[in-house]
Amino acid sequence: MRGAGLAHVSSVLRLELLRLARDRRAFVLSVILPMALFPLLFLGLDRIGRRATESVQSKSLRVAADLEALPLGVHDFVLRTLNEPGLDLVLVERADLDPGASAALLADDRDPFAAVLLAAASEEGAPPIEVAFDASRPDGREAARRIQTALEELRATLSLERVTDRLEIDPAGAFVPSPADLASDVDRAGRGLGALLPLILCMVLVSGASYAALGAFCEEREGGTVETLLVQPVSTRVLALGKAGAVLVAALSALVGNGASFLACVSLGLAEGRGLEAGFGLGRLALALALFLPTAIALTAILCFVAARARSFREGQHYVLPVLLFASLLAAPSTQDTLVTDGVLALVPITGPTLVLRDALSGTLEARPALLAAVSSLALALLLLRHISSALDPERLFRGREHRPGDEAGRALRLAFGSVFVVYAVGGALQARALVPGLLATLFGFLALPALLHGRGMARRFGASTVRVLGLGRPRTSHLLGALLLAPALATFSHELFELQRSLLPLPSGMESGELTEALGSLSPLALVLLFALAPGICEELFFRGAVLAGLRRDLAPTRVVLWQALLFGAVHASLYRFLPTAVIGGLLAMLALSSRRLWPSILLHTGYNAILVLDLMESGAWKAAPVAVPWILAFVGVALLVLVPPPGGRRPHTTKGTLRARGAAKSAS
């Protein structure tokens, strides 16, 4: 994009900025008002906290005490010690030690006690002292704290006196450490700042950019002014870049203004009570903000993507809160200073960049995670910008709700991502409670059932049968045999891939033996094959190579279909440490389903592959005793059967995105 393209982008950017500048109320609420709230927030919290502390600590707390069970000398010593730290001891007669009697003393309507102190009778050694208090009352918590502190100091004093009387010195005195913090003021300030600033920046950026994104996309679409842009002789990519650039400028304005207000509060010492110290390094801060810029671009792209997909301003407003919660959730790990930023975490959007920002402020930044985080954020932004430009397609906006190129692929991807999330959130919890029922509920309830419902919906939209849409028609016998012959080679190949990934990304300790291994002793071999081989082979194939692939292949080229299948199949297994082999298997199964035009060969290959893994875990896999070349010879025969025998209906060229658009145009003309 050179010359005229850049000029068009700058024109759209300038137009959007002028339109945003005219909306002064939104600018004040999103940028100016939060800047004034930070000083008020810190001053208010400090004053409220100081007043609450003073009101409790300055009060003398009444404590009911019965210490008659203590020896005489110890009894008087304990009473003198406890009367010093603001405790008004009221001696009571021997009280019953059950909780009801103590609760009655604490709940007296006229003059309740803050705590009840009782020395229980004991035949051996010193009797234990019990403290009863109501943790829901501030005076109860404060009384318990004062009593515990006084008794611990008393215990330490008595122990030291006894040891010193016998040995004349304290032999443990040499083991009392004298801590010396050698960290510089900049390191301490950066550590405190890094635990809070990344989360605040993400929240401020999303809130500041949301009004600009809604105005640039939803408001124009609802007001009908977007048509004047779409009829101009510029590409939708230019419009998407210009609008996203304007949203980014608004987001950075909010970020700079609110960040300056927050840092000013820290520099003036208003936030010292919150664990934030003044004296942070400006050089580190500048580096951290520069590293956060790709994250700002990615968050802006997410908001623009959501706003561009919304059909109205009201719908776009509903999406802002989930985006804010999503960004806050991914940024939350940066508040844990014990979490180490490795290469895997750095690749996670928002999480990796916020961890890098934390490390830059605390002085522990490493170059490799910083580079990976920047690349991950920019790649996400570019991917979303591409989808934003497709959302601005005039044909998509003007042709109403009839089928458009990309609709079925979009539905399939939404189905896939939604089901993957449900499998993570609900299926994982169910399997943690009870493995076998949880696994069956996940496979049949969260994969097979949505697949059948989605296939039925596609069948209605296209006037076909559900069996045909999901590829459940009668397959070639040679294709079934070829798929079955591929299973041993696929198991061998996936094992090598797993070893390769484990060499690059070792499994954490404790993950080598999973729940499947633990279940082997309680289930019969037939039950294991049915549960861990046949059920996943049917349900997962029905979902991924059935419903999801049916939607993807109507709008996408075969290469993109296979790539999406690999990504989704690797993600649904919820293991980063086994992602590579499962993703490759998902891609291979998708290729098999595309070439055979039926789902049954993929089901058979998937089931056979899982059965080999189950037998391997049972240490009864006979295929391992065969020569090394046997799986590959069988695979060669299987590939020959799949390639040489044509699929049902004969060979015909694959429907591509271009031909689909041509068919859609012809249908509209007719």
Q: Over the stretch 218-267, which tens digit does the pLDDT of each residue have?
A: 777 666 555 555 555 566 777 778 888 888 888 888 877 777 777 776 66
Confidence of residue 537 (pLDDT cuts 50, 70, 90): very high
Q: Is 530 exposed, middle or buried (0-12, 13-18, 19+ CB in 10 A)?
A: middle
Which of 474-488, 609-623, 639-653 is most confident? Answer: 474-488
Give pLDDT, residue 402.
46
For 407-448, write each residue's pLDDT tens digit.
788 888 888 888 888 887 788 778 777 778 888 888 898 899
The confidence score (pLDDT) of residue 606 equals: 93
Lowest mean pLDDT among 14-18, 46-50, 560-564: 46-50
Residue 470 one-letter amino acid: L
The model's confidence at residue 178, banded by pLDDT at 50, 70 and 90, is low
- The predicted pLDDT at position 261 comes to 73
Start and end residues for every CATH 3.40.190 domain found in the chain: 59-172
Provide the token pair at 407: 């609709």
What confidence score (pLDDT) does residue 659 get?
Answer: 45
Q: How many CB atoms lie within 10 A of CB 635?
A: 19
**Cα 443 to Cα 421: distance, rounded to the nearest angstrom:** 14
Mean pLDDT of the chain: 75
* Least confident span in 4-18, 467-481, 553-567: 4-18
DSSP state of 127: P
Predicted pLDDT at 381: 87
pLDDT for the residue 249: 85
Query: Which tens digits make up the pLDDT trace of 269-279?
Result: 655 544 455 55
Residue type, 597: R
pLDDT at 538: 92
C-alpha to C-alpha distances, 138 to 144, 315, 330, nearest whole angstrom? 10, 45, 35
Cβ atoms within 10 A of the Cβ of 348, count? 17
Phi/psi at 65 (nearest 5 deg)? -135, 135
The pLDDT, as a whole number, for residue 661 is 46
Residue 562 banded pLDDT, cuts 50, 70, 90: very high
What's the pLDDT at 657? Answer: 46
Q: What are phi and psi of 406, to 5 degrees?
A: 100, -15
Q: Determine the average pLDDT of the residues in 135-163.
A: 78
| Angle at the Cα of 301 from the Cα atoms of 297 and 302, rounded to 5 degrees | 120
Residue 590 — very low, low, confident or very high, per pLDDT cuts 50/70/90?
Answer: very high
Structure tokens at 28: 């004040």
Total residue count of the chain as it appears in this document: 670
Rounded to whole angstroms, how far apart are CA atoms 87 and 98? 23
Average of per-residue pLDDT across 485-501 = 83
Whether 163 has a pLDDT exceeding 90, the answer reads no
Q: Which CATH number fits domain 59-172: 3.30.2250, 3.30.1360, 1.10.10, 3.40.190?
A: 3.40.190
pLDDT exceeds cutoff 90 at 280: no
Beta strands across the sheet bearing 87-91: 87-91, 61-66, 115-119, 129-133
Encoding tokens for residue 583?
A: 């993703």
As a whole number, mean pLDDT of residues 45-63 equals: 59
pLDDT at 655: 46
How far CA 48 is from CA of 51, 53, 263, 273, 538, in Å, comes to 5, 9, 21, 12, 61
pLDDT digits (tens, 9 = 90+) for 328-353: 888 888 887 777 887 777 888 888 88
Could you tell me the pLDDT band of residue 602, with boundaries at 50, 70 and 90?
A: very high
For residue 229, the surrounding DSSP H or E stretch is: helix 226-230
Query: Tokens at residue 521, please?
Result: 């002793």
Other Cβ atoms closer than 10 A to 392: 21
| pLDDT of amino acid 39 | 60
Average pLDDT, integer, range 180-199: 72
Taking each helix axis from N to C end, the angle separating 197-213 and 282-309, rounded to the nearest 10 degrees, works out to 40
Q: What is the pLDDT of residues 359-395, one digit of tens each?
A: 888 888 888 888 988 988 888 888 888 777 766 655 5
**DSSP letter assigned to residue 130:** E
pLDDT at 645 over 50: yes
The answer to whether residue 400 scores a pLDDT higher than 50 is no
Q: What global pTM score does this model have?
A: 0.54
Which alpha helices (DSSP H) does 332-406 contain, by range?
343-347, 351-362, 367-391, 394-398
Q: Quote the pLDDT of residue 525.
A: 77
Pairwise CA distance, residues 661 & 670, whole Å? 14
DSSP codes of every residue in 409-475? HHHHHHHHHHHHHHIIIIIHHHHHH-HHHHHHIIIIIIIIHHHHHHHHHHHHHHT--HHHHTT-SPP
Answer whether residue 517 shows pLDDT above 60. no
For 122-131, 201-210, 573-582, which range has the lowest pLDDT when averaged over its residues? 122-131
Q: Sign (positive/negative) of CA torsion 543, 544, 546, 551? A: positive
Q: Please choose, from the candidates 193, 203, 422, the residue with its C-alpha nearest in 3D space to the C-alpha of residue 326.
A: 203
**Can you give the pLDDT at residue 607?**
92
**What one-letter code names the amino acid at 575?**
S
CA-wise closest residue to 313 among 250, 246, 222, 400:
222
The Cα 286–Cα 265 span in angstroms is 18
**Higher pLDDT pick, 97 / 228:** 228
Percent of the chain having pLDDT more than 70?
67
What is the band of 541 on the pLDDT scale with cuts at 50, 70, 90? very high
Residue 573: strand, helix, or coil: coil
